[in-house]
Amino acid sequence: MRLASILRRRIVARPRVAARAVGAALATHDLSAAALAAVMLLGTSALCEDEEPGSVRPELPTVGLSEVRKHVSREKGIWVVYKRGVYDITEFCARHPGGTKILLAAGKSIEPFWQLFAAHHRADVYEMLEECRIGNLDEVGAAELAATAPPHSDAYANDPDRSPALRVNSTEPFNAEPPSELLMNDFVTPNDLFFVRNHLPVPPPVEDPSAWHLKICARGPSVCHHVSMDDLKRTFDKATVTATLQCAGNRRREMAGVKAVKGLSWDKTAIGTARWSGARLADVLRAHGVDDAMRHVQFEGRDADATGERYGASIPLATALDPRKDVLLAYEMNGRDIPRDHGHPLRVIVPGTVGARQVKYLDKIICANTESPSFWQTRDYKGFPPNVDYSTTDYWSRAGPSVQELPVQSAITEPAADTPVDVDDTITIRGYAWSGGGRGIVRVDVSLDDGHTWTQADLDPRATAQEYNRSWAWTPWELTVDVPDNATTLTLVCKAVDSSYNAQPESVAPIWNMRGILNNAYHRVTVHLLRPQTDDDDDEEEEEEEEDHFAHLASSSSTFSDRAPTRVAGRIATFPQKQQQQQQQQQQHTP
């Protein structure tokens, strides 16, 4: 009867599981359990149609809020509350599209979080939730949650205006990137075209920056000083750094093509370069008596979730204090006050470091011996090996350290993938290359034949003129090269080498990870060539038209649609490898 007991407790509101349980019970000859499962299957199907999600289910046990709060880990189970329903989402966590962010609600009500992420309010989501139902929250717990719930409000009602040119990945919170064709128009990315990465709603604007104060706790969290924007501008020299920011998930879409990953489907333009101006963090910390024995600098923003938890991250104190690392408390972006989407009125800029550590809407700085306790530092933006996913037992034990500096990267921005390209005898290919830690780019290699042969691209002299190990900005590159005769399709590939001679991996599969971050494999783009017509082509087409005309007279059943594919197919030629190698004898043959 153990199976019957499990059925009573666990599958009342899970019709799919109940259906499987009928078969399992029959297979073990436990007829009482099978009968119970069948009854539950019939009953719950009707119940799902008639009842609202989260409403009281009389046939389920009652659970106290104190018990729910005990279940916040995979080992003990992960429970959440929605209205009066209690749910065990331990198994579902591995399938959650948002990855581990669902753990923010462990042991709590998920309603405040669903106010921020409105995509959850759909029938299919409610159905999945009810399949995890294990009980009803008691009246005392429901009253406590109601009394402590934040007031309902539209957290996105006052979001700033955005450029319609941006390609939107999510609306609440807003995340978007520019079209690749516009990204490299300038060495510095215009503010309106800079990619937007928000983890939470954009906080209300600071109407009077002069009345705003930054809290600085340079000797630990117990003693803090308040510094105004006027103090920062008046007391500390203004420094300007041209630096590239890249999201950890840049090029995640390609990684998802190998195996499913968690996170926004970023293409290749979650990256941008700006001139950032502000006070040097090292100067500010020194002025406030920083304790050099501390190991980390924690940053806390004003953007917060429904429970009040703010976005936070940290960097090593050694990075913050190194004058050659150029870490800024930035209040200007490209000569203007930082826009709201990018951190108004103050943000951290840590050149060469992943964007997730460059906290926006900066409110507080704490020097400490530990990393930031924030979810985004302790439970996100870490590397995993390719054999680990969310179904792996205790997968967090396999996580690497928090991502800081990023690996060497490059991408083709023009021509765009899978687009027709007008060519005569040559094709021009453009893109960017960049590496973390201030490492400059020394070479970009481009291939027209999926990596069989290579040609070195021209690098933007503004990028190559950057100081050694302080090359914070990307390297735009360009190559104009002859198009092989008869080629109709090209597979373009690029790869970069940085000043430490780090090179990109050839493919995505060996660096796949369940969070879909740190994709720096060779970048590939397939393009279709459109060639201008010549006089010879016109003569050939006239001959073909005459032949088609007589063929039509000979067979009235023949139509244009019958013949057109044959003519088109006749002009398509596969580019021979031998001919390609002969035409590119002077190209580099690098591994």
Catalytic residues: 96, 120, 197, 247, 381
Residue with tokens 């105004």: 228
> Which of 488-512 are b and which e, b meaning 16 or more Cβ less than 10 Å from the residue's Cβ?
eebebbbbbbbbeeebbeeebeebb
Q: Is 243 helix (H, G, I), strand (E, B) or coil?
A: strand
Would you call 206 exposed, middle or buried from its count of C-beta atoms within 10 A (0-12, 13-18, 19+)?
A: middle
What backbone phi and psi angles, to 5 degrees, belong to 169? -95, -30
Would you call 305 exposed, middle or buried from its count of C-beta atoms within 10 A (0-12, 13-18, 19+)?
A: buried
Q: Residue 457, by phi and psi: left (phi above 0), alpha (psi -120 to 50) or beta? A: beta
Of 453, 444, 424, nearest to 586 by C-alpha is: 453
> CA 329, CA 358: separation in Å to the nearest integer?
10
User: 145: which 2 tokens?
Assistant: 């949650």
Run of H or E including 427 = strand 426-434
Omega within 30 of 0 (cis) for the link into 345: yes
Run of H or E including 306 = none
User: 121: which 2 tokens?
Assistant: 């309010």
Partner residues linked to 491 by β-bridges: 449, 526
Q: At a CB cut-off of 8 Å and minimum separation 6, what does 67 contact?
A: none
User: 289: which 2 tokens?
Assistant: 């008596």
Q: Residue 77, by phi and psi: left (phi above 0), alpha (psi -120 to 50) or beta? A: left
Amino acid at residue number 173: P
Please measure the distance between the N-terminal and C-terminal CA atoms of the chain and give it in whole angstroms. 64
Question: DSSP string spanning 59-107?
Answer: TSPEE-HHHHTT-EETTTEEEEEETTEEEE-TTGGGG-TTGGGGGGGTT
Residue with tokens 């941006």: 166
> CA 386, CA 516: separation in Å to the nearest integer?
10
> CA 216, CA 297: separation in Å to the nearest integer?
10
The distance between the two most distant Cα atoms of the chain, rounded to a whole number of Å, is 96
> CA 301, CA 343: separation in Å to the nearest integer?
9
Would you call 123 exposed, middle or buried from its count of C-beta atoms within 10 A (0-12, 13-18, 19+)?
A: exposed
Strand pairing report for 328-333 and 336-337 = antiparallel
Of 272, 278, 246, nearest to 190 by C-alpha is: 272
User: 286: which 2 tokens?
Assistant: 């020194």
